Amino acid sequence: MTRSGSGPSVRSVVAASLVAVLLVTALPAGGATVGDLDASDEDTYHGSIGLEPTDGAGSAAVADGDRGGDARQTDDSDTIRLRNELSETDEAGTVGVTTRAAIPDRVTELRVTLLSANDGAVEADGFERADDAGPDESAWVWDGETPTPSLTYATDVNVTVEESGPLATRGTYRFADAGEWALVRTPRTSASWSYTGQYDGQVGLTRENVVDGEGVASQAMAFLGPYEERVREADGRRYRLIVPEAADTEATPEEVFGAFDYASAALRVGARDETVFAVAAPTDGVEWGVRGIQIGDADLWVRDVEPAGTADDVWTHEYVHTRQAFGTDASGRWITEASATYYAALFALDRGAANFAEFERTLARGERDPDASAVLADPGTWEGNPDYTKGALVAGAIDRRLRVATDGGASLATVLRDLNAAGEPITNEHVLDAVEAAAAEGADDETAAAIRAEAERLTTTRDAPETWGRDAHAEAFGETPAQVGYVLADDGVRATGEYRDRPVDVDPVELVAGERLAVAVDVTNTGGVAGEYDLSLTVDGEAVATRVGTVDAGAATTEEFEYAFSEPGTYAVRVGGERLRVVVSEPAPPSVRDVSIDADRVTAGESVRVTATVGNDAELPAGGDVEFRVDGETVDTAPVRLDAGAEASVERSLTLGESGDSGGIGAGDREVSVSVVGPEGEASTTVTIEGAGPIGGATDDAVPGFGIVAAVVALLAATGLFGRRGRSD
């Protein structure tokens, strides 16, 4: 891509990371809760999704606690879609953006704020500048008429930082436009909207980033320019490696994938994203401020000059960040970079890519001041980057102590697994609790308390441990420790009950009230000794079932959970570090597709078998009762439970009335007729319902003084079937 100017134009921009939160800010009139609503409750509601800028300097992982913040709905027609199209411009240091909105019919108002637009003109189509926008705010409101409104603008993409520490370089750039190519963050926007309908049928928002021309975009970053994409897929994982034409890579794609594969297998900590997006950042023409960055859920870039597999391997370091599903407060901040740095060194040693001397030198940086004298739990004492140096040494010391005390039954991975399962920002106290809990898996309480006390001393004082030698390392790491990990089994998420018993999609899991969620989790131990596991299923943060056990070295077992959801709502389900969003709705109303009878001529007082064919045209299961009526009166019912797209037949034998009965009804637009014959010597009659022709060629021989006996049909009475979630009248 050609730009004017000779290189990146320097602008100081605070780095930000994607964090999206859905906020429903209004309830129905009268203060009704979701449980109070029925099919007739409609009102105007409001939602908002914003991006909260955070300081992501260096290679710090961004873990927003939700691992993907955009609200995704059960019905695509109830989702606002924002699509950012990035393109080249003639001005160095900028990228053009067109933000397009696809708006559902239920939305009455939409406000979009461009957080990364330049101060210059914004070309609006279907948007008008908000009257209440601040002087420095680029806020726009939809005109309510344009079906696909858009905003076109330019955004500055050069992001600089003054960085120091193990992953710092002599440069300043974190993202940059180099002229022929650009490696940039994706545009940031916030949005709020109003919509009509039922409160439980929330309207949400999703975002998509694409490049108009040569290039590729993901959730949090984009590369503009010619490139080659290499893909590795294995064991449910997908790695996308973007190799720009301008890059001269030191590591081959196979080496990068090898580093990712090993780290993925060794880190049995949950929080594994299905796809990792990685870019080999060209160094020709750009002085990067860091050697690599991880941003968003699973996006990262690493300089093209970086090898894969050394004791300070940046590729592994940034990948480890993608497996950290927790956010931290100040006191727990150290564990993020400490664990990534430590594991990069340990995995290189385990794979044979680095020798023990290289591993030892990497950790020994934590013994030197000023980093050694920093208090890890108090960032105010940090002069450099002790979380990378002293933090890595402390993380390794904790790992070694746990392995020795538990005979390999627990390790630092056990600690990270527990931290990933936490539902709140991690403090140093959380880390210490997880350390003690991990030690207790294979040691007595006194030993576990001692290991916790040692971890507390190393993180809350200026004390620093010493790097251990070969013999101590062999004692702890000679045998591969138990590596107990959890992953959802293939087709391991099922819906069970009277409607269906089959696997279902997981983004989100859609159920109807009364169904059960069945989850199967594979527990594997890739280590060299047996390991214990303690696996819980939680719903909205409350443990509803727990499985404990031991899995032998190199073995695997499967644990299964079931939980019934009786009420509509949206639930957060977690198991083994995996997160599921479960949306429960009322069942859809089935429809009557056909009715038939087994005889076209019967004698009054005899029975006829009526068959109703019912189907489900919805994407959710359908349920209700079929009512069988004679002369307009319900004489029998049959329950109907159908999976999405399914069809079934229900039958009932009904006795026809005697002389004097009259009238009949149809089932939807379905019609049947039957001839009812009176007692011997009396005339017979044929009744045709709503214009239906006689069945079997019967004729109408009705005689005054004899009553007409009605036809029998099936009619669905879907009482209470209009769901309160995901649908409106």
365-392 pLDDT tens trace: 999 999 999 999 999 999 989 999 999 9
The stretch 122-140 carries a mean pLDDT of 91
Tell me: do 659 and 538 sit in the same domain. Answer: no
Per-residue pLDDT, 693: 28
Of 585, 603, 619, the position where a domain reaches its end is: 585
| Average pLDDT taken over every residue of the chain | 80
Question: Which H helix or E strand runs over 82?
Answer: strand 79-87
| 518 and 580, same domain (yes or no) | yes
Question: In the prediction, which pLDDT does 47 show?
Answer: 61
Note whether 671 and 694 are within 8 A (CB).
Answer: no
> Is residue 673 classed as helix, strand or coil in its secondary structure?
strand
List the single range of 32-36, 50-54, 253-257, 518-522 with lowest mean pLDDT.
Answer: 32-36
pLDDT at 164 over 50: yes
pLDDT bracket for residue 726 (50, 70, 90): very low
Other residues' Cβ atoms within 10 Å of the Cβ of residue 333: 23
Higher-confidence residue of 425 and 15: namely 425
pLDDT at residue 479 is higher than 90: no
41 inside domain: no
CATH number of the domain encompassing residue 709: 2.60.40
Residues 331 and 477 in one domain: yes
Instruction: Of 178-187, 234-243, 437-446, 658-667, give the lowest mean pLDDT range.
Output: 658-667
This prediction's pTM: 0.62
92 within a domain of the structure (yes/no): no
**How many domains, the chain?**
3
Domain assignment of residue 288, yes or no: no
Q: What is the pLDDT of residues 208-218, one digit of tens each?
A: 999 999 999 99
Cβ atoms 350, 406 nearer than 8 A: no
CB-count exposure of residue 233 (10 Å: 0-12, 13-18, 19+)? exposed
**Mean pLDDT in residue range 40-57:** 46
- 696 in the same domain as 562: no
Percent of the chain at pLDDT > 70 equals: 76
Structure letter (DSSP) for residue 709: P
pLDDT digit string, tens, across residues 330-355: 999 999 999 999 999 999 988 878 88
Q: How confident is the model at residue 655 (pLDDT cuts 50, 70, 90)?
A: confident
- pLDDT value at 590 more than 70: yes
Query: What is 583-622 written as a DSSP string?
Result: EEEPPBPPEEEEEEES-SEEETT-EEEEEEEEE--SSS-E
452 shares a domain with 331 = yes
Cβ contacts of 31 within 8 Å, gap of 6 or more: none
Residue 428 and residue 343 share a domain: yes
Mean pLDDT of the region 9-22: 29
Size of the chain in residues? 729
- Does some domain include residue 160? no
Any idea which of 61-65, 85-89, 487-491 has the lowest mean pLDDT? Answer: 61-65
Q: Give strand pairing partners of 431.
A: none
Decide if 381 is inside a domain: yes
* Beta-ladder partners of 125: 150
Least reliable range by pLDDT among 126-140, 162-176, 591-605: 162-176
Do 568 and 595 lie in one domain? The reply is: no
Residue 559 lies inside a defined structural domain of this protein = yes
User: Which pLDDT band holds residue 133 (cuts at 50, 70, 90)?
Assistant: confident
Over range 62-77, report the average pLDDT: 40
Whether 371 and 477 share a structural domain = yes
DSSP, collapsed to helix, strand or coil, labels residue 101 as strand
Which of 32-41, 383-392, 605-614, 648-657 is predicted most confidently? 383-392
Cα angle, residue 210 at apex, residues 208 and 212 outer, rounded to 5°: 150
Which range, of 109-113, 164-168, 476-480, averages the lowest pLDDT?
164-168
Please compute the mean of the pLDDT values over residues 472-488 and round it to a whole number.
79
**What H or E segment, with its residue span, contains residue 476?**
helix 470-477
What pLDDT sits at residue 13? 29
CB 25 within 8 A of CB 172: no
Last residue of a domain, one of 456, 481, 506: 481
Residue 523 and residue 241: Cα distance in Å, rounded? 29
Quick one: pLDDT band at residue 119, thresholds 50, 70, 90?
Answer: low
**pLDDT-derived band at 162, boundaries 50, 70, 90:** low
Do 438 and 377 have their domain in common? yes
Question: Which pLDDT band, with edges at 50, 70 and 90, does 78 fall under?
Answer: confident
Extract the tokens encoding 175: 């993202």
pLDDT band, residue 572 (cuts 50/70/90): very high
Whether residue 543 lies inside any domain: the answer is: yes
Proportion of the chain above pLDDT 90, given as a percent: 57
Q: 174-178, 336-340, 606-610: lowest mean pLDDT where? A: 606-610
* Confidence class for position 721, pLDDT limits 50, 70, 90: very low
Looking at residue 527, which CATH number applies to its domain? 2.60.40.10
Q: Of the given ranges (145-154, 429-438, 667-676), which has the lowest mean pLDDT?
A: 667-676
Top mean-pLDDT range of 127-141, 164-178, 291-305, 671-685: 291-305
Domain end residue (candidates: 585, 606, 635): 585
Residue 520, Cβ density class (10 Å: 0-12 exposed, 13-18 middle, ≥19 buried):
middle
Quick one: pLDDT at residue 18?
26
- Band the pLDDT of 201: cuts 50, 70, 90: low
Per-residue pLDDT of 663-686, as tens digits, reads: 333 333 455 666 667 654 444 433
pLDDT at 66 over 70: no
User: How much is the pLDDT for 109?
Assistant: 94
- Angle made by CA atoms 317, 319, 322, in degrees to the nearest 5: 120
Report the pLDDT value the prediction gives residue 49, as an integer from 0 to 100: 61
User: Angle at Cα 612 formed by Cα 629 and Cα 592, nearest 5°?
Assistant: 95
Residue 78 per-residue DSSP state: G
* Residue found under tokens 């411009």: 89
Domain, as residue range, for 575: 484-585
* More reliable by pLDDT, 273 or 238: 238
**pLDDT in the model for residue 76:** 63
For the segment 59-65, the average pLDDT, to the nearest whole number, is 31
The pLDDT of residue 45 is 57
Q: DSSP states of 42-65 as a string?
A: -EEEEEEE--------TT-----S
One domain for residues 356 and 369: yes
Q: What are the tokens at 334?
A: 């150290």
Exposure on the CB side of residue 24, measured as CA atoms within 13 A: 17
Do 465 and 524 share a domain, yes or no?
A: no
For residues 717 and 625, the answer to whether their CB atoms sit within 8 Å is: yes
Q: 40-44, 271-275, 436-440: which has the highest mean pLDDT?
A: 436-440
Structural domain includes residue 673: yes
Fill in the amino acid letter for 621. Answer: P
Higher pLDDT, 168 or 437: 437
- My answer on whether 344 and 458 are in the same domain is yes
Kindly tell me if the per-residue pLDDT of 603 is higher than 90.
no
What's the average model confidence in pLDDT over 282-297? 92
Contact present, 598 and 608 (Cβ < 8 Å): yes
Q: How confident is the model at residue 605 (pLDDT cuts 50, 70, 90)?
A: confident
What integer pLDDT is reported at residue 318 of this predicted model?
Answer: 97
pLDDT confidence tier of residue 101, bands split at 50, 70 and 90? very high
